[in-house]
Structure 1
Amino acid sequence: MTVLDQVLARIDSDLDKSLERLFAFLRIPSISTDPAHAGDCRAAAAHLAADLRSLGIAADLSETAGHPVVLGRGGDASARGVLFYGHYDVQPVDPLDLWESPPFEPRIKTLDDGRKVIVARGSSDDKGQVMTFVEACRAHVAVTGKLPLPVTMLIEGEEECGSKNLPDWIEQNRGAIAADLALVCDTSMWDTATPAITTALRGMVYEEIEITAANRDLHSGLYGGPARNPIRVLTTILGGVHGDDGRITIPGFYDGITDPPADVLAVWRGLDLTPETFLKPVGLSEPAGERGRSIVEQLFCRPTCDVNGIWGGYTGAGAKTVIPSKASAKVSFRLVPGQDPDAIRQAFRTFVRERLPADCSVRFEGHSGAPAVAVPWDLSQLAAARHALTEEWGRDALMIGSGGSIPVVADFKRLVGMDTLLIGFALDDDRIHSPNEKYDLRSFHKGIRSWARILNALAG
């Protein structure tokens, strides 16, 4: 029996105790966005740090302007090894009356299809995922007395409220977290039986726009016709952002973009991501993105622009015949590798200003902005991790893109120069951020085994 076989056997025999440790972590209501739970966030951080110290990992709380970061280091201090990132904070639980059981009293439930799941807030996002890695480290230490390679842990407490203090913390502590590779367990599998490594994340530019016309709201009977209506102006401009073919018409928007390798595109196009499987469950039937691009391309490797909110004038009950003086919208862009967030922001603002009619002015407020990130397709650690996942699950691990954004991955690349492998075991039906959040027991168990294999593979 190899050392890895012994580690995997230890994970299997220790599963009940692993669940006990996870449940203790889940019982702490570490809701980061609610000031009333600041003490609980600190308690969760202290709990995790103490657990890491029990494995021989030097761990403590590192202060930020908000909730503390758990920073731990185990293994040879002279070598770089890997950095593992996760978060201990959770989303609020509202509406509480939709929970079938108290959100911070974790339990095992059997679903109608026979799956056993862990139900609690944070079970999937992200405490359960964090503990898959911690338990894999625990098994290695139990069998061999040490970690298979140097491991640094960075577990933050503000991911669910924007990680606003993390970039500064990373910049100040870049030497302490420098590693050959970052590992993030805050993503999903492709399906219940197929593991996946997220190799590309779209970036983000978020803008708020306000157009002003008259110096006050106007009576539409007295001014309708001659007076400029900023809602009409705003919707006309935003409506012109997309052409009939679904492409974005902002000049220079697609500059610098390249397609993934042909073999990767071929694999993506073979995935079961069709209007029937992807759009029908949410009540839609026809893809609305770029014409000539598959759904999977539209999600994984093409940029987007969406209006996330729009308002102006009277929106209360009943009628009020008014021409508003102002109209506003929130607009987000999802970016892909090759696009510069600052350049996209300025191009959008120029696009709007050039289309403003007489008697109108515009004000912009910039919110988040982060570049897209992509793992080099020939990265040796990517191949090693993919092989390890395939061995555990018995199916080829997919390399996929993500339509979402995880800004910390861009921070690792920009501030520390690290590439990141995003390997998670969540499922689409985990109800993250919703009542009755769950994490499949199989995801938890095989997630631990997967990390044990990955650590072993990365150690060579």
Structure 2
Amino acid sequence: MSDLDRALAAADDSLEKSLERLFGLLRIPSISTDPAYKNGCRETADWLKRELATLGFEAALRETPGHPVVLAKQPKAGAPHVLFYGHYDVQPVDPIEKWETPPFEPRIATTKEGKKVIVARGSSDDKGQVMTFVEACRAWKAATGELPVGVTILLEGEEECGSINLPGFLDEAKEELAADVALVCDTTMWGEGAPAITSSLRGLVYEEITVRAADRDLHSGMYGGAARNPLHVLSKIVADLHDADGRVTLPGFYDGVPVVPDTLREEWRALGLDAAKFLGPIGLSIPAGESDRMVIEQIQSRPTCDVNGMWGGYTGAGAKTVIASEARAKVSFRLVGDQDPSKVKQAFRAFVRERLPADCSVEFEGHKGSKAIQLPFDSPSLAKARAALADEWGVAPVTIGSGGSIPVVGDFKRTLGLDTLLIGFALDDDRIHSPNEKYDLESFRKGVRSWIRILAALAG
């Protein structure tokens, strides 16, 4: 048997023990947002520190102004080094009455489809996912006495309350956190039996605008037809943000948008995510994005502009015939590739000002923007991880983008200069953040085996 085969066999042989350890972790209430659970968060961090120390890691709790960070390191001379990130805090359990069993009393249940699942708060987000990696390291140590690569494990206790103290910690500890690539296991698979690697995260620009005209609301019978109506002005500006084909019309908006390789687009096409499958469950049928793009491109690899709220004038019950003195809107842009948030913000503000009548004024309130994160399409680490997942699952993993943001990935890139492989084994029906959160037993078992293979692949 090869070292890889021995490690896989060790993981299978110790599955029951692995579940016992996971259940021990799940029993500790570590709700980071509630001060009443401060001791539970520290107990969880201590538990993880002890477990990692038993695997030969130099493990410690690193204090922050909030909950401690668990930092564990096991270098290997002459081998690549990876930084694995996860979080040990969990969401509140409310509404408690919706839970079928107590949320911190983990159990194995059988679904109506006959699947075995682990039910507990944190089973999927993120304790179960963290333990897939820890148990993969345990299997390598049991089988060969060492890890195939150097490993640093960083587990934070404040992800569910905004990771407020993590950027400062990364800046202080950046020399200790040096690695070749970062690994994050806090994402989902494409579907049951279909692994995925999230290779990009869209960035964000968020603006609030207020258009003002008269110095007060006006009687529409007396002033209608003569006085400028800010709601009309703002509505036209908003309408001008897109052309008839769904493209955003800001000058220079598409600067820095990458060209997706044809091979990857064909992979996406083969997934069959058409408008009926994606929009049908929410009562829609016609994609509103760029007309020359597939739905899957519209939601993960293309930039967007959306009006998130728009109001002004009288919106209460009954009639009140006024011309509003001001109109407001909240507008967000999701960015991809090398789009520059500051340039998009400037282009948007110039776009609005150019369309503003002489007797109107505008005020902007900007929020912090973020750049998109894109793993290079030709990344060697990505290719190795894809091959490893294909070997385990028997199908090629889907390389996808995420329409949302995972702040730690941006922090890794900005502060540590690291690209990140986002590989998770959760499913969309895991009820994350909801009562009766679950994690498929098969997701846990094959998650451990997948990380065993990925570590071997990254070792070269």
TM > 0.5 fold call: yes
Does residue 339 of the first structure (1) align with residue 339 of the second (2)?
Answer: yes
Aligned-partner Cα distance in 2 for 1:218–1:100? 56
Is 1:74–1:150's contact at 8 Å kept on the other side of the alignment? Answer: yes
Residue of structure 1 equivalent to 2:193: 193
Deviation at 1:148, TM superposition (A): 1.9
Superposition deviation, residue 311 in structure 1: 4.0
Following superposition, the deviation at residue 399 of structure 1 comes to 1.9
> What do residues 108-146 of structure 1 show as CA deviations (whole Å, max 9, x unaligned)?
221121112222222222221111111111111222222
Task: Work out whether 1:391 is the aligned partner of 2:391.
Answer: yes
Deviations 1:12-67 (A, max 9, x none): 12222222222222233333333443443333323222222222212222233333
Q: 1:20 to 1:244 in 2, by over 3 A?
A: same
Give the paired residue count. 460
Equivalent residues of 1:75, 1:146 under 8 A apart: no
Provide the rounded CA distance (Å) in 2 between the counterparts of 1:163 and 1:136: 26
What's the CA shift for 1:343? 1.1
C-alpha displacement at 1:232, in angstroms? 3.9
Greater shift after overlay, 137-146 or 217-226? 217-226
Q: Over aligned residues, Cα RMSD in angstroms?
A: 2.4
Cα deviation for residue 315 of structure 1 reads 4.8
Judged with a 3 Å threshold, the aligned counterparts in structure 2 of structure 1 residues 47 and 340 are, in CA distance, closer, same or farther, namely: same
Q: Specify the alignment match of 1:44 in structure 2.
A: 44
Q: For 1:175, what is the secondary structure of its paired residue?
A: coil
Please say if residues 80 and 178 of structure 1, whose CA atoms lie closer than 8 Å, have aligned partners that are also in contact: no
> Is contact 2:213–2:360 with CA below 8 Å preserved after alignment?
yes
In the alignment, which residue of structure 1 is the partner of 2:209?
209
1:135-146 → structure 2 map (5 Å cutoff): 135-146=135-146
What is the SS of the residue equivalent to 1:174?
coil
Q: 1:96/1:366 Cα in 2 relative to 1: closer, same or farther (>3 Å)?
A: farther
Do the aligned partners of residues 409 and 216 (structure 1) sit closer, same or farther apart at CA in structure 2, a change above 3 Å counting? same
1:372 corresponds to: 372
In structure 2, stretches of 5+ residues that fail to align are: none
Give the deviation of 1:222 after TM superposition: 6.2
1:402 corresponds in structure 2 to 402
Does the C-alpha gap of structure 1 residues 91 and 329 become closer, same or farther in structure 2, counting only changes over 3 Å? Answer: farther
- The whole-number CA distance in structure 1 between the counterparts of 2:229 and 2:59 is 59
SS of equivalent to 1:182: strand
Task: Tell me what 1:125 maps to.
Answer: 125
What is the CA-CA distance between 1:304 and the residue it aligns to?
A: 0.9
Q: Distance in 1 between the 2:233 and 2:100 partners? A: 47
- What is the CA distance between 1:246 and its match in structure 2? 0.8
Whole-angstrom CA distance in 1 between matches of 2:430 and 2:29: 19
Q: Is residue 2:177 matched to residue 1:177? A: yes
> How far is the alpha carbon of 1:172 from its aligned partner?
2.1
How high is the TM-score relative to the length of structure 2?
A: 0.92
CA distance in 1 between counterparts of 2:333 and 2:128 reads: 31
Deviation at 1:215, TM superposition (A): 4.5
Distance, in Å, in 2 between the alignment partners of 1:241 and 1:57 is: 53
Q: Structure 2 CA distance, aligned partners of 1:345 and 1:182?
A: 30
1:325 Cα shift? 4.4
- Matched residue, 2:252: 252
Matched residues in 2 for 1:48 and 1:230: separation?
Answer: 57
Aligned 8 A contact 2:80 2:459 in 1: no
Aligned CA distance change for structure 1 residues 314 and 266 (closer, same or farther; 3 Å): same
- 1:158-186, Cα deviation, whole Å (9 max, x unpaired): 22233233223222221111101111111
CA-to-partner distance for each residue in 1:210-245, whole Å, 9 max, x for gaps?
334444555666665555444444333223212221
| Identical-pair percentage | 65
CA distance in 2, matches of 1:211, 1:333: 19
Closer, same or farther in 2 for the Cα pair 1:321/1:388, shift >3 Å? same
CA distance in 2, matches of 1:101, 1:286: 41
Q: Distance in 1 between matches of 2:31 and 2:428?
A: 22
Deviation at 1:328, TM superposition (A): 3.3
Tell me if structure 2 keeps the 8 A contact 1:259–1:301: no
Give distance in 2, aligned partners of 1:303 and 1:433: 28
User: For 1:327 and 1:89, how far apart are their aligned partners in 2?
Assistant: 41
Shift of 1:84: 0.5
1: CA distance between counterparts of 2:388 and 2:234? 51
User: 1:16 maps to which residue?
Assistant: 16
Change in 2 beyond 3 A, CA 1:50/1:350: farther
Counterpart in the other structure of 1:2: 2
Matching of residues 35-434 of structure 1 within 5 Å: 35-76=35-76, 81-216=81-216, 226-315=226-315, 324-434=324-434
TM-score, length basis structure 1: 0.92
Asked if 1 retains the 8 angstrom alpha-carbon contact of 2:79 and 2:459, the reply is no
Q: Deviations over 1:399-426 (max 9, x none)?
A: 2222222222222222222111111111
Q: How far is 1:364 from its partner?
A: 2.7
* Structure 1 residues 23-42: aligned runs within 5 Å: 23-42=23-42
Deviations 1:178-211 (A, max 9, x none): 1011111111111111112122222222223333
Query: Which ranges in structure 1 are unaligned for 5 or more consecutive residues?
Result: none
- Residue 282 of structure 2 aligns with an amino acid whose one-letter code is V
Paired letter, 2:199 = T
Helix, strand or coil at the partner of 1:399: strand
In 1, the alpha carbon distance for the partners of 2:299 and 2:394 equals 26
- 2: CA distance between counterparts of 1:319 and 1:97? 42
